[in-house]
Amino acid sequence: DAKTTQPPSMDCAEGRAANLPCNHSTISGNEYVYWYRQIHSQGPQYIIHGLKNNETNEMASLIITEDRKSSTLILPHATLRDTAVYYCIVSYNTNAGKSTFGDGTTLTVKP
């Protein structure tokens, strides 16, 4: 599975959009991009995933570049409860559980 690179930390003002980048330059053609978040020390929570096209759900949007070497998770209106560690993972959908969770990005949403 391809590895990912994320900034260790980011800040965002409450109510503003949070844009979390992820680089995955060695991604293979059929590998998906997955995003999870972990609030405090709770179990990670699935947010969204995509293959090539941009995706949106009730939690976030995922923008994948045309060459698929990077992606951005967008939380459109960040709240204090969005403060968490966000993990970007690249994996085949059949192997997702065997993926490596890197150290992620700690997002701090400030009032």
Partner 1 sequence: DADVTQTPRNRITKTGKRIMLECSQTKGHDRMYWYRQDPGLGLRLIYYSFDVKDINKGEISDGYSVSRQAQAKFSLSLESAIPNQTALYFCATSDPVTNTGELFFGEGSRLTVL
Query: Which stretches of the chain bind partner 1, using CB under 8 A?
Result: 32, 34, 36, 41-46, 49, 87, 91-104
Taking the alpha carbons of 48, 87, 97, 4 in that order, is the dihedral positive or negative?
positive
Tell the smallest beta-carbon distance from residue 50 to partner 1 (Å): 11
Looking at the Cβ atoms of 104 and 109, the one nearer to partner 1 is 104
* CA–CA distance, 12 with 80 (Å, rounded to integer): 9
Select 58 or 111, whichever has its Cβ closest to partner 1: 58
Which lies closer to partner 1 via its Cβ, residue 63 or residue 101?
101
